[in-house]
Chain A
Amino acid sequence: MRFVDEYRDQAKATALAARIAELCQPGQHYKLMEVCGGHTHTIYKHGLEHYLPKTIELVHGPGCPVCVIPMGRVDDAISIAQQPGATLTCFGDMLRVPGGKGSFLDAKAAGADVRVVYSPMDALKVAMDEPDRKVVFVAIGFETTAPSTALTLLRARDKHVTNFAVFCNHVTIIPPLKAILDAPDVDIDGFIGPGHVSAIIGCRPYETVARDYGKPLVVSGFEPLDVLQSVYMIMRQLAEGRCEVENQYSRVVPWEANPKAVAAIEATMELRPHFEWRGLGSIPWSALRLKAAFAAFDAEELYEVPGVRVADPRACQCGQVLRGQLKPWECRVFGKACTPEKPIGTCMVSSEGACAAFYNFGRLTRLAIATAGRS
């Protein structure tokens, strides 16, 4: 398929790998954080670690909007789903995320009306087609997805829909990045920046990473060659003593933010003073909620939710994985008590969570099965 296959050419990958290796200083170890779960997925699925020298370590960051949802918020959504006449709509990613008392799928099995949708507009359509149901859409995602929720809210208002609400869990990318950079003993040398968030916010917001924290950041696409080229660009910056924000994904990402997307978000949402992030604790001004003018569509206004802060199970080390301090296989419950079929934490449930990605794609590389049919 076009705009996909061309970025999967193995010969170019080999050339990139050679150039990357040349840029490594002997005796030096490099730690690069890829923020976005989509990059984690690409790295494992295509075995990109094979193409990198062992002195470059890729570390996973908190850019998985499903992984960072605290269990208490899942419980809140389930309590809404259990109200009479309520229909909970959500993306497929959310269906098996464990809350304190089970997942949306468990709630469905117990009788709640839970439906998977592809788009927030599809959730609005359910509300318009079924006026006797109270439809609530569980909105998740970074700035990539927030404009779509915003446009859906604007349309709901224009069409005077009275049975549609949004349970808003949108989060923003810069605060958690700063939280990681502000942590003591941060030893990350450079960042592979999220590509699709940047399609909305542009590259400018990342300037603080280079200017104030002295780390290079390259905004990256999601095909294997994109990620390898981004690693190459970071390594070149390090070798040349530069520290900048660069845009590898220039076919999609602009330097400035998308004005219509920003306007839609600003018309419908505002930043919350605090929001609990799984594994990162409470981060100020890091998440969005609906503005007062849209209270009629705000599930948190329309429903009483428990709002209980549920502590992660003691065995769970998702927080450390999300901060890049632990690799999935270093978590004490990885693959034992915590597996895709019985996940303890969100890193294992979300398809782009570091643990799920590693479990599904990367396990074998650790066992060094190098000759498994590779031509």
Chain B
Amino acid sequence: MCLGIPGQITEMGVGSAEQALVAVGGASRRVNIALIADEGLSPGDWVLIHVGFALARLDEAEARSTLEMLASMEATYADELDAMARSGTSRPQEG
């Protein structure tokens, strides 16, 4: 159910219109893209692979926005820790 791996399309139409060559790390496999064929895929796009099929295209803009949100949370937290260190206080014990 859950093993979905991000991979990058390196070649379209290998063997048939429904198959693309997808790279995961240094390995490659033919992946059936019929489930997301309407999304105008091209080499360089990232897809989620499960049992030899692409289930979804990875939305790089959404990925970036998730990471930006996490990064800003990290930065705010780091600022708070700095401020506390300078004022000599410490965070209350958690959990």
A residues lining the B interface (CB < 8 Å): 1-4, 6-7, 9, 11-12, 14-19, 21, 24, 36-39, 41, 52-56, 63-65, 91, 118-122, 141-142, 144-145, 147-148, 151, 194-197, 199-200, 222, 225, 229, 248, 250-254, 258, 260-261, 264, 352
Contact, CB under 8 Å: A144 / B50 = yes
B4 pairs with A3, CB closer than 8 A: no
Report yes or no: A151 in contact with B77, Cβ–Cβ below 8 A: no
Assess whether B52 is in contact with A54, with CB atoms less than 8 Å apart.
no
B17: Cβ under 8 A from any A Cβ:
no
Given A14-B77, A258-B55, A260-B38, CB of A252 within 8 Å of CB of B4: yes
* A15 cross-chain contacts in B, Cβ below 8 A: 70, 73-74, 76-78
Tell whether A122 pairs with B52 under 8 Å between CB atoms, given A15-B78, A65-B1: yes
Contacts of A122 in B (CB 8 A): 52
Is B12's beta carbon under 8 Å from chain A? no
Contact B1 A120 (CB under 8 A): no
Give 14 A-B pairs besides A15-B76, A21-B95 with Cβ atoms closer than 8 angstroms: A9-B74, A18-B91, A21-B94, A54-B95, A148-B50, A148-B51, A148-B52, A151-B34, A196-B4, A197-B1, A250-B66, A258-B35, A260-B38, A261-B35
Q: Which 5 A-B pairs have the closest CB atoms?
A: A53-B95, A38-B2, A119-B52, A15-B77, A3-B6
Cβ–Cβ < 8 Å partners of B71 in chain A? 12
Closest to A91 in B: B51
A121's partner among B2, B52, B55, B95 (CB-CB below 8 A) is B52
B55 and A261 form a contact (CB under 8 A): yes
Q: How far is the CA of A215 from the CA of B11 in the complex (A)?
A: 44
Interchain CB contact (< 8 A) of B46 among A2, A16, A260: A2
Residues of chain A lying within 8 A (CB to CB) of residue B91 = 18
Q: In terms of DSSP, what is the predominant structure of the interface of chain B?
A: mixed
Candidate in B34, B36, B55 with the most chain A CB atoms within 10 angstroms: B55
Question: From B47, which residue of chain A is reached at the shortest CB distance?
Answer: A252
Q: How far is the CA of A24 from the CA of B63 in the complex (A)?
A: 28
CB within 8 Å of A: which residues of B? 1-4, 6, 8, 24-25, 32, 34-38, 46, 48, 50-53, 55-56, 58-60, 62-63, 65-67, 70-71, 73-74, 76-78, 91, 94-95
Can you list 14 A-B contacts (CB < 8 A)? A1-B25, A2-B46, A3-B46, A12-B71, A12-B74, A15-B73, A37-B2, A52-B95, A122-B52, A145-B51, A196-B50, A251-B66, A258-B55, A260-B34
Q: Could you tell me if B56 and A199 are in contact, using CB atoms closer than 8 angstroms?
A: yes
Q: In the complex, A39→B6 CA distance in Å?
A: 17
Partner of A251 from B2, B36, B58 at Cβ < 8 Å: B58
Q: Are A37 and B1 in contact (CB under 8 A)?
A: yes
- In the complex, chain A residues whose CB is within 8 Å of the CB of B73: 12, 15-16, 19
Contact across chains for A251 and B1 when beta carbons are under 8 A apart: no
Shortest Cβ gap from A230 to chain B (Å):
11
Residue numbers in B under 8 Å from A12 (CB-CB): 70-71, 73-74
* Closest Cβ neighbor of B57 among chain A residues: A252
Q: Which residues of A contact B52 (CB under 8 A)?
A: 118-122, 148
Q: Point out the residues of chain B lying under 8 angstroms from A118, CB to CB.
A: 51-52
- A36 nearest CB across to chain B (Å): 5
Q: Once the chains bind, are B53 and A195 in contact (CB under 8 Å)?
A: no
Please state if B62 and A36 are interface contacts (CB–CB under 8 Å).
Answer: no
| Chain B residues in 8 Å Cβ range of A252 | 4, 48, 55-56, 58-59
Enumerate chain A residues within 8 angstroms of B24, measured Cβ to Cβ: 1
Task: Name the B residues within 8 Å of A7 (CB-CB).
Answer: 67
| Nearest chain A residue, comparing its CB with the CB of B91 | A18
**Docked-complex contact B2 and A196, CB < 8 angstroms:** yes
Residues B56 and A18 in contact, CB atoms below 8 Å apart: no
